[in-house]
Amino acid sequence: MEFKAYQQGAMKTAVYPGKGEGNWTYPALGLAGETGEICEKLKKAIRDDGGKVNEARLAAIAKELGDVMWYIAALSTELGLDMDAIASANLEKLAARQQNNRLHGDGDNR
């Protein structure tokens, strides 16, 4: 599935105040929450399973990653951004860093 198609499909299922009106607050908070849910499951893998991610936890994390994607789609939409363009720009940025041997280190503009 292409990112643009995913972004459009995600917004068909979006229900929140100010949807499609530039309300970036709601999806930004949701994105943080869903990211936290992933971290929580990984934390429990450390606490309960010696750091191993079992099949059940892996399936649960995959669902949470989907939730993260949904909120990325909603946030991108509310900010007027295209996920295809975001994905392409990100890969281009990382490829340039790799070519310049600057994948490691700090700073957004390496």
Alpha-carbon span 34 to 104, nearest angstrom: 27
Q: Provide, rounded to whole angstroms, the least separation between the CB of residue 37 and Mg ion.
A: 5
b/e map of 26-56 (b: 16 or more CB within 10 Å)?
bbeebbeebeebbeebeeebeeeeeeeeeee
Q: Provide, rounded to whole angstroms, the least separation between the CB of residue 41 and Mg ion.
A: 10
Applying CB under 5 A, among 41, 67, 69, 86 the residue interacting with Mg ion is 67
Q: Provide, rounded to whole angstroms, the least separation between the CB of residue 30 and Mg ion.
A: 9
Q: Is 82 in the site for Mg ion (CB under 5 A)?
A: no
